[in-house]
């Protein structure tokens, strides 16, 4: 085992780069701008330059680096083929092969949500477990399934896409994916606000939320924590939808733990409580005691997971 690894989390705006010891200790992290021009063709070169600059500064040879893991905001197959990444301007190509040749280091790539799940399993909310489902509740809903310590990429790189599980047959508004009734439409930050506005639009509601010019997901959870009855009904609905969806996932995957991350998870214990209650009510009896925990690595989860992927090879 070599001593160092890089974890590179590629986002639409910035690329987060973490420099790790292969023991899991993060030594340093920094960000570079994602240059999306020319179909994203500058991105890999920018990462190579940044990695080489770091190695030169530390006086470390590439021979001491186990590899580079990269998280990509789109579907990635187990063999490293990216299947279109609108946020980066990338089409369909084998990013592992291209980056390995360019960097002169072994490269492994994965979908960003899957990779963040691996990071939380390694050093975060799922530490100590090897069967983990992590759900990231942000602007959208991403997720990753880890079984036996390995990411389940799926045939089309869509393994763990629980955000697009259909949870409501009657929904008329369209999800970002083009279909209707997806989990993401109710349990992302935007989803929670949408549920709230829909509830308010019915009228006759007394709630502190009407005083706000613009309602955020945080406002809804804060109001519920303060005992606002209307906000509590929204949080309960959120818990029923997410807890119910996780109960279905448990029937297929039966993980040791569900780790909940992303901006919405900053609501904390109130979120865990409502999801756990609804999960227990709907889960198959054999898995109704599955642990539900908060993510702990925040925005660093992707870098940790990428490094882990590079180390595991």
8 A C-beta contact, residue 209 and residue 218: no
Residue 119 near residue 305, CB atoms below 8 Å: yes
**Between residues 148 and 178, which has the closer beta carbon with respect to Zn ion?**
178
Nearest approach, Cβ of residue 139 and Zn ion (Å): 13
Among 52-60, 82-90, 181-189, 267-275, the segment contacting Zn ion (CB under 5 A): 181-189
Min CB(157)–Zn ion separation in Å: 16
We find the least distance from the C-beta atom of residue 189 to Zn ion, in angstroms, to be 15
Under the criterion CB under 5 A, does residue 174 sit at the interface with Zn ion?
Answer: no
115 scored as a contact of Zn ion (CB under 5 A)? no
| Nearest alpha carbon to residue 249 among 222, 279, 270 | 279
Indicate whether 175 belongs to the interface with Zn ion (CB under 5 A).
yes
Closer by beta carbon to Zn ion, 34 or else 187: 187
Residue 162 beta carbon to Zn ion: minimum distance, rounded to whole angstroms: 10
Shortest Å, Cβ 176 to Zn ion: 6
End-to-end CA distance of the chain: 11
Q: How far apart are CA 234 and CA 243, in angstroms?
A: 14
The nearer residue to Zn ion, 178 or 227, going by C-beta atoms, is 178
158, 174, 177, 286: residue in contact with Zn ion (rule CB under 5 A): 177
CB of 73 vs Zn ion, minimal distance in Å: 16
Of residues 6, 147, 137, the one with CA closest to residue 65: 6
Q: Which of 158, 139, 108 is nearest to 309 (CA)?
A: 108
Q: Where are the strands (E) in the chain, listed by range?
A: 4-10, 14-21, 26-33, 65-72, 81-85, 90-94, 107-111, 132-137, 141-147, 150-151, 257-261, 291-294
Q: Show the tokens assigned to 39.
A: 């179909």
Q: Name the strand (E) or helix (H) holding 218.
A: helix 217-225
Q: Of these, 51, 115, 132, 182, which contacts Zn ion (CB under 5 A)?
A: 182
Between residues 66 and 187, which has the closer beta carbon with respect to Zn ion?
A: 187
Measured between alpha carbons, how far is residue 200 from residues 169, 206, 211 in Å? 22, 9, 12
Smallest separation (angstroms) from Zn ion to the CB of 164: 4
Residue 191 or 305 having the CB closest to Zn ion:
191
Residues 140-169 interacting with Zn ion (rule: CB under 5 A): 164
State which residue, 113 or 231, has the beta carbon closest to Zn ion.
113
Q: Which is nearer to Zn ion, 162 or 275 (CB)?
A: 162
Per-residue burial over 53-64, b = 16 or more CB atoms within 10 Å of its CB, e = otherwise: ebbeeeeeeeee
How far is the CA of 171 from the CAs of 167, 176, 264, in angstroms?
Answer: 9, 13, 22
Residues that bind Zn ion (CB under 5 A): 164, 175, 177, 182
């Amino acid at each position: 085992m070599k001593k160092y690894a890089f974890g590179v989390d590629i986002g639409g705006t910035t690329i987060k780069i973490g420099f790790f010891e292969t023991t899991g200790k993060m030594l340093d992290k920094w960000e570079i701008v994602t240059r999306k021009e020319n179909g994203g063709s500058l991105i890999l070169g920018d990462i190579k330059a940044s990695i080489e600059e770091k190695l030169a500064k530390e006086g470390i040879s590439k021979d001491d680096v186990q590899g580079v893991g990269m998280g990509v905001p789109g579907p990635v197959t187990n063999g490293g083929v990216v299947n279109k990444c609108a946020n980066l301007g990338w089409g369909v190509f084998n990013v592992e092969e291209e980056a390995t040749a360019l960097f002169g280091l072994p490269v492994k790539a994965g979908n960003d949500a899957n990779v963040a799940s691996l990071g939380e399993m390694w050093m975060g909310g799922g530490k100590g477990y090897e069967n983990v489902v992590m759900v990231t509740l942000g602007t959208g809903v991403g997720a990753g399934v880890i079984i036996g310590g390995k990411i389940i990429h799926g045939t089309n790189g869509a393994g763990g896409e629980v955000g697009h599980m259909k949870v409501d047959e009657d929904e008329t508004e369209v999800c970002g994916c083009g279909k209707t009734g997806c989990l993401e439409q109710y349990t992302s930050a935007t989803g929670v606000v949408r549920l709230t506005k829909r509830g308010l639009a019915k009228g006759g509601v007394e709630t502190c939320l009407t005083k706000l010019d613009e309602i955020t997901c945080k406002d809804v959870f804060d109001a519920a924590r303060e005992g606002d009855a209307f906000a509590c009904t929204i949080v309960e609905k959120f818990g029923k939808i997410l807890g119910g969806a996780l109960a279905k996932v448990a029937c297929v995957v039966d993980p040791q733990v569900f780790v909940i991350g992303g901006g919405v998870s900053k609501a904390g214990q109130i979120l865990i409580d409502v999801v756990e209650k609804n999960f227990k009510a709907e889960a198959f009896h054999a898995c109704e005691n599955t642990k539900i925990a908060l993510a702990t690595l925040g925005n660093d989860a992707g870098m940790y997971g990428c490094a882990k992927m590079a180390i595991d090879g």
